[in-house]
């Protein structure tokens, strides 16, 4: 297989390139990339307001924060000493496998009108959607994740 340019190095796939960037992230933050990703997705999938994003802040002192943030708002702290990245909110109803899920007011549960699958309460439904996104089946988030890794790598280098 021919290697392609990703970043400044040759890798066989984008997945290989992302794995290297995730290792850099893990080394810098002292947390697994998967756990960090879970934190972001957990907050992103529970946002129903499209004017809200999930803001990741990372400082050169290796202190990080993942928080809910009004899109475009600033805390006034700008500079090279920290890295900021906004992830979009994720509506579970925008995920292909969950487009046909509805809420039943009479029985207080979420169910899929096409498959009949019952998700139970809101937390169970959102947990299922979160697991779907984390399994790399939701390309809008995966694209943002790759862009985040690329920009983080440029900042930390």
Kindly tell me if the per-residue pLDDT of 47 is higher than 50: yes
Residues 132 and 109 in one domain: yes
Residues 44 and 79 in one domain: yes
Residues 34 and 69 in one domain: yes
* Average pLDDT of span 89-98: 91
Residues 100 and 128 in one domain: yes
Residues 51 and 99 in one domain: no
Residues 20 and 37 in one domain: yes
| Domain that includes residue 36, residue range | 1-90+139-157
Look at the chain and report how many structural domains it folds into.
2
Residues 81 and 152 in one domain: yes
Residues 45 and 6 in one domain: yes
Kindly tell me if the per-residue pLDDT of 45 is higher than 70: yes
Kindly tell me if the per-residue pLDDT of 6 is higher than 70: no
Residue 89 per-residue DSSP state: P
Sign, CA dihedral 81-35-19-124, equals negative
Alpha-carbon gap, residue 117 to 113, rounded angstroms: 8
Residues 20 and 80 in one domain: yes
- List, as own/partner pairs, every contact residues 135-144 make where C-beta atoms lie below 8 angstroms and the sequence separation is at least 24, other chains included: 137/97, 138/90, 138/95, 140/88, 140/90, 140/94, 141/41, 141/44, 141/87, 141/88, 141/90, 144/87, 144/88
Residues 6 and 21 in one domain: yes
Contact 89, 44 (CB under 8 A): yes
pLDDT of residue 86: 93
Report the predicted TM-score, pTM, of the whole model to 2 decimal places.
0.85
Contact 113, 33 (CB under 8 A): no
Alpha-carbon gap, residue 25 to 146, rounded angstroms: 12
- Predicted confidence band of residue 81 (pLDDT cuts 50, 70, 90): confident
Residues 83 and 99 in one domain: no
């Amino acid at each position: 297989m021919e290697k392609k340019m990703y970043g400044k190095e040759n890798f066989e796939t984008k997945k290989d390139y992302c794995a290297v960037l995730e290792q850099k992230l893990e080394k810098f933050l002292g947390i697994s990339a998967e756990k960090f990703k879970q934190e972001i997705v957990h907050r992103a999938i529970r946002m129903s307001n499209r004017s809200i994003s999930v803001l990741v802040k990372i400082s050169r002192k290796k202190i990080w924060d993942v928080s809910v943030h009004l899109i475009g708002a600033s805390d006034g702290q700008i500079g090279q000493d920290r890295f900021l990245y906004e992830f979009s909110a994720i509506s579970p109803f925008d995920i292909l496998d969950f487009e046909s899920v509805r809420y039943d007011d009479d029985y207080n549960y979420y169910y899929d009108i096409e498959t009949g699958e019952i998700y139970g309460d809101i937390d169970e439904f959102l947990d299922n959607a979160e697991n779907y996104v984390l399994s790399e089946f939701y390309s809008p988030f995966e694209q943002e994740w790759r862009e985040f890794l690329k920009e983080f790598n440029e900042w930390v280098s």
